[in-house]
Chains A and B, each alone.
Chain A
Amino acid sequence: MNMSVVGKSVKRVDTLGKVTGLARYAGDLSLPGMLHAKIKRSNIAHASIKQIDVSKARALPGVKAVLTHQDVPRVLHYGSPHPRSASVTKDQYILDNKVRYWGEGVAAVAAISEEIAEEALDLIEVEYEKLPAAFTVEQALCPDAPLIHDTSPGGNLVMDPVIVTRGDIERGFAEADLIIEGEFKGGRPTPAYMEPNVCLCQWDGNGKLTVWISTQAPFMVRGVIAEVLGLPLNNVRVLVDHMGGGFGAKQDLFQNEFLCVLLARESKRPVRMELSRKETFLSGRSRHPVHVWLKQGFKKDGTITARQALLTFNSGAYGSHAPGVTGVSTASLTSLYRCENVHLEGRAVYTNTPIAGAFRGYGCVQSYYPLDIQMDEAAERLGIDPAELKLRNAVRGDDIAPSGHAVTGHGLEDCIRRGMAEVKWSEVRAQAHETSGAIRYGWGMGCEMHGSSAYPGIKEQGNAIVKMNEDGTVTLVTGTTGLGTGAHTALAQIVAEELGVKFEDVGVVHGDTDVTPWDIGAFASHTTFMGGRAAQMAAAEVKKQLLERAAERLEAAPGDLDIADGMISVKGVPGYQISVREAIAPRLGLPAAHLVGTASYHPTKSYSFAAHFVQVKVDTKTGQIEVVKVVPVHEIGRTIHPVAAAGQIEGGIQQGIGHTLTEDYVIDTTDGHSLNPSFVDYKMPLSMDMPPIHTIIIETAPNPGGPFGAKGIAEDPIIAIGPAIANAVYHAIGVRFHHYPITPEQVLDGLRKKNEAAPRPGIAA
């Protein structure tokens, strides 16, 4: 297909404001009479609140409102945005008479300045009755463990275990020539978006609430607030313009939104509440820490005969996305590498630790890290090159994907082959390793697949309105949110392409729940795939109306007309054309044409694929692992904006290198408090840590469900990089790691154990 706008790195619609400082984020706004709010947080991980005395705080001059659990509606709510889906749990109150993790909010204050609000927090006296706590999954699963919620299906389980079975694993293992099993552990990385959570709330004289907020899911924020406060949806307006990242976590509500809303109602003033960086750690959402037991059977030729796994996720103090993450993660092990006989079980467990939630990669980071590393181990035992073994087993067209759909195309095989050729895989793997010096180099590779859209966990829906104005320009009205990915630019490109107009002639209206069509939120790598397809369909509707109008002028049938670059012409009649602007222009007696297209799209699922190839350098004296080079190959069906797509890949790799080597939000397992809630102590890869990334995007398996065949890209890049690094480390030093992050002291420890185990030279056996 010949494209004029799609596939070009046009000037993004959102970046001019960002590079000039004029882009408005929710935290940049202020209103006359605005108050500042703060949350009093628990300094104990599990306790009942016996008494809470706010009299001194209320008496402090400048304090305008104080709220405790006695002052707020006691309604159990979904802390996450997809009520009535299978992905989330209903186990939170705005403020409870209990606390379940260190740092949970117990009261809130609004005052004329942040300093007075903070002073008031110190004047609030809370008397706790300490409860026995469970800080680890092991503790929480003990028969006599303290119960953290009374809504559990049993003990501290968040929900009933997820069981996925296909074929017959007993037969599969019986047919195997080689059986490998292993245990794996994943740490607690956090999204660490740059913009702390912030909201500004105002009630107008007619009882209507407006909320300016940094969220990925404004319609879900509207829905949850309305539900909890008993308001009709048209009395809650949620506005999001620019936002400083979310990476999945900003789908949830974080207590502060409700409290800000209620403080504004109580004080009859606008109230702004911005979390400190420390609070974004304490009350934020991390990836679920995980323990995975994985067993696979292989034939001599590398065919996988059976796969069995038990995945246990630490949900922290609340359920949040535990059901969704557990479901996606468990089901993900049915695929990537083909296997007909699987038995998989996933559990999620409450503990008295910070809440785990949605984070880019949504369960697939936790499942494909073990799976891919075990493939590497199997390859060595079978005497097959690891990339070759993965290629032989790679998921392919018509295989059943984790969602239950047939896979389209051969994207993963194409990624593996392209990467192998690009890095000259057999050569670099065969190079003899320097074994005398302290520095060792190694190459590894890892694979992943990830769905665009949360189907079947959530039945999703993308909506769009496209209007053509009387000068021929176009307005796309979309409820999708711009986290910083460039999604609105991609949607405008899709509209321009479909309509045959210039990209610059398409404007985008977004970020207002009163104005835009409903949207489920920006997550699950689905904005371009689903919102983009809806925009394409709405644009097609406008095109149809426009051509009907132009047909009269050109005295031709609408079907004989075509639009390109803003000109409507009769096919096969060169020079016989009018501009879009002429076609829509006001005519005698008719002030303006009303050309509006609306569309609603219910997607199922498409999968994107990637293979990451990585070179690492390991210093055997210090244990330091350095990623020297990354070659990510991604198959995404159709690239809408190459620069933005590559940017997603490179950013995902940065976060993936982070959780694999340095990032871990650490909780003291004696009392549940956080040990590193700051950017100095939570170590992310920065400019000097990041290696060169040679990004390759291929378009060999377009999905008919996406706009022009496009699929998602946001989550894919964080998944394959982890196992690629772990496998490269093994190639470099011969030490196998089954966990992340892999720290320097663990590398040294691993080398020591390996050397102890090795036969000493000169001593006869």
Chain B
Amino acid sequence: MKQVVAVTINGEAHELAVEPYRSLLDMLRNEAGLTGTKKGCDVGDCGACTVLLNGRPVNSCLVLALEVNGGDVVTIEGIQSGPDRLHPLQENMMKFGGSQCGFCSPGIIVMAKALLDENPNPTEDEIRFALAGNICRCTGYTKIIEAVAATAKQLSSGKEITP
């Protein structure tokens, strides 16, 4: 039988009815209509479904929807800095070419935001370590790492970084 989950998603309060075995990922995609979070493996191997749960990055396919009752979830759709303003990570992923097929991009951007929230000036190794659970098959990671590093620089210096 379905149960109701009360959860804040991207700042909005929701009450969503889900089967008890449903994952947070399926709840976001199917019940909340937020399909930006992707399902690449459904078993926690690829990171495409990364969202922030109470400020911490999680593989949403590995979290039961019922567990987030009373919690706060941020997805790729809630990352933007303002209604018409992209997060610098989003800008830089485009500008530096960090997004190709784009299927991993939402998870990468959310993961990178979690990193920068905690560590505003990461080294290249720290960026690579933070993204170790996010599989990208298109880019070789070069341009993703550049985009995250440029964002860190941009946020701390206030100056835009160009490729």
Residues on A facing B (Cβ under 8 Å): 9, 11-12, 14-25, 27-28, 30, 115, 191-196, 242-245, 247, 274, 276-277, 483-486, 643-644, 646-647, 650-655, 678-680, 684, 686-688, 690, 692-693, 695
Contacts and interface: CB of A to CB of B under 8 A. Distances in A.
Given A16-B94, A21-B35, 13 more contacts: A11-B94, A15-B94, A19-B94, A115-B19, A194-B46, A247-B137, A484-B100, A650-B140, A678-B43, A679-B45, A680-B45, A690-B141, A693-B140
A195 B38 contact: yes
A22 to B, nearest CB: 7
B72 interface: no
Contacts of B45: 277, 678-680
A484 B76 contact: no
Nearest to B163: A643
A687 B131 contact: yes
A417 B152 CA distance: 37
7 contacts: A25-B38, A194-B46, A244-B38, A244-B103, A484-B102, A650-B139, A690-B140
A32 to B, nearest CB: 14
Contacts of B135: 194, 679, 684, 686
B120 interface: no
Contacts of A11: 94-95
A17 B45 CA distance: 24
Interface residues of B, number: 57
Contact of A688 (B46, B96, B129, B143): B129
A665 to B, nearest CB: 15
B132 A15 contact: no
A651 B138 CA distance: 5
Interface string B82-110: 00001001100111110111111110010
A23 B41 contact: no
A651 B163 contact: no
A244 B101 contact: yes
A205 B163 CA distance: 52
Given A16-B94, A194-B38, A688 B101 contact: no
Nearest to B102: A18
A274 B35 CA distance: 15
A461 to B, nearest CB: 26
Contacts of A195: 38, 40, 101, 103
Nearest to B76: A21
Nearest to B139: A651
Given A194-B40, A484-B138, A20 B76 contact: yes
A695 B19 CA distance: 50
Interface in B60-77: 75-77
Contacts of B138: 194, 245, 484, 647, 651
Nearest to A276: B42
Contacts of A277: 40-43, 45-46
Contact of B80 (A20, A652, A678, A684): A20
A708 B30 CA distance: 46
**Which of the listed residues B37, B45, B139, B142 has the most CB atoms from chain A within 10 Å of its own CB?**
B142
Contacts, number: 175
Contacts of B104: 194
B153 interface: no
A653 B43 contact: no
Interface of B: 19, 21, 29-30, 34-43, 45-46, 48, 75-77, 79-80, 86, 89-90, 93-97, 99-106, 109, 127-129, 131-132, 134-145, 163
A381 B101 CA distance: 45
Contacts of B30: 30
Given A9-B163, A16-B94, A688-B128, A650 B101 contact: no
Contacts of A646: 97, 143
A759 B14 CA distance: 75
A28 B46 CA distance: 18
**Which of the listed residues A16, A21, A484, A686 has the most CB atoms from chain B within 10 Å of its own CB?**
A21
Nearest to B124: A692
Contacts of B99: 15, 18-19
A53 B42 CA distance: 30
A687 B89 CA distance: 17
Contact of B102 (A15, A274, A684): A15
Nearest to A194: B103
B97 A194 contact: no
Given A28-B35, A195-B40, A687-B141, A23 B102 contact: yes
A476 to B, nearest CB: 21
Nearest to A30: B30
Contact of B143 (A115, A483, A643): A643
Given A21-B75, A643-B163, A242 B102 contact: yes
**Which of the listed residues B86, B100, B105 has the most CB atoms from chain A within 10 Å of its own CB?**
B100
B128 A687 contact: yes
A247 B100 CA distance: 12
B137 A655 contact: yes
A614 to B, nearest CB: 14
B103 A651 contact: no
Nearest to B129: A688
A194 B131 contact: no
B65 to A, nearest CB: 14
A24 B35 contact: yes
A651 B135 CA distance: 12
B140 A679 contact: no
**Which of the listed residues A23, A243, A647 has the most CB atoms from chain B within 10 Å of its own CB?**
A647
A15 B75 CA distance: 17
Contacts of B139: 647, 650-651, 654
Nearest to B145: A687
B108 to A, nearest CB: 9
B97 A483 contact: no
Given A15-B102, A21-B75, A651 B140 contact: yes
Contacts of A693: 140, 142
5 closest pairs, A vs B, by CB?
A: A21-B36, A484-B101, A18-B102, A244-B103, A650-B140
A484 B29 CA distance: 22
B101 A193 contact: yes
B75 A192 contact: no
A688 B103 CA distance: 20
B1 to A, nearest CB: 14
